[in-house]
Amino acid sequence: MDDVLVGPLDLAARVDEALAVQALAFGLDDDEIAIRRQIVLRHLMYPGARALGATTAANRLVGFVYGMPNDRAHWWSTVVEPYMRRTGTEQWLNDSFVITELHVLPAYQGRRIGRTLITTITDTAAEPRSILSAIDVESPARALYRTLGYTDLARPVHFPSAATPYAVMGAPLPLRR
């Protein structure tokens, strides 16, 4: 990551760049980008929402993370709650920092940028734990989350908007190094 710096990101101002990163890293079509754009801008108005970016010396955005303290009234929390109640992990929804998105451009993956983004944003969280949802397959993302101490809290979790099942994962903060 020699030429890439991780620091605060004005995600509202750079939302189109961030969604371009997400489109290449995660796969989003134009319709999904338009929907995500509205969702991201709404998320940024929630209390405690924060973003970090990974930028090159030329200020090109190559990765980003954002999240916020969980609010049990938010859509994501209401979807995962019944699954977590069934596995007895519902208390993870309280006093928890949610990682909403984490993406690194494919050409920049494998250089510890993703790890730096998620550990840096959670290091400044006031909450004692972090939760997130990830597609329920053995992906680089899930491998990363496991090395940081995240374990499966509920799976498979079905979001009404998604075709593939997800896993909800949680880790104590600060994340394990």
Ligand X SMILES: CC(C)(COP(=O)(O)OP(=O)(O)OC[C@H]1O[C@@H](n2cnc3c(N)ncnc32)[C@H](O)[C@@H]1OP(=O)(O)O)[C@@H](O)C(=O)NCCC(=O)NCCS
Tell me the window of 11-19, 34-42, 104-112, 167-175 that interacts with ligand X (CB under 6 A): 104-112
Residues 6+ apart with CB under 8 A from 93: 70, 72, 77, 80, 81, 84, 131
Which of 52, 80, 104, 169 binds ligand X (CB under 6 A)? It is 104
Q: How far is the CB of 47 from ligand X (least distance, A)?
A: 23
Residue bearing tokens 């993956």: 109
Q: How far is the CB of 5 from ligand X (least distance, A)?
A: 14
Does 155 bind ligand X (CB under 6 A)? Our answer is: no
Positions in 113-132 near ligand X (CB under 6 A): 113-115
Q: Which of 33, 3, 7, 27 is closest to 116 using CA atoms?
A: 7
Residue bearing tokens 């990830």: 134
If you count DSSP H runs as helices and E runs as strands, how many of each does the chain have, helices first?
A: 5, 7
Residue bearing tokens 């969604």: 19
What is the C-alpha to C-alpha distance for residues 35 and 43, in angstroms, rounded to an integer?
13
Q: Which of 27, 29, 36 is closest to 66 using CA atoms?
A: 36
Which of 36, 43, 103, 129 binds ligand X (CB under 6 A)? It is 103
Tell me the window of 42-50, 96-104, 119-127, 150-158 that interacts with ligand X (CB under 6 A): 96-104
Give the residue closest to ligand X by C-beta. 114
Which of 141, 153, 169, 171 binds ligand X (CB under 6 A)? It is 141
Interface residues toward ligand X, by CB under 6 A: 25-26, 102-104, 109-115, 134, 139-141, 143-144, 147
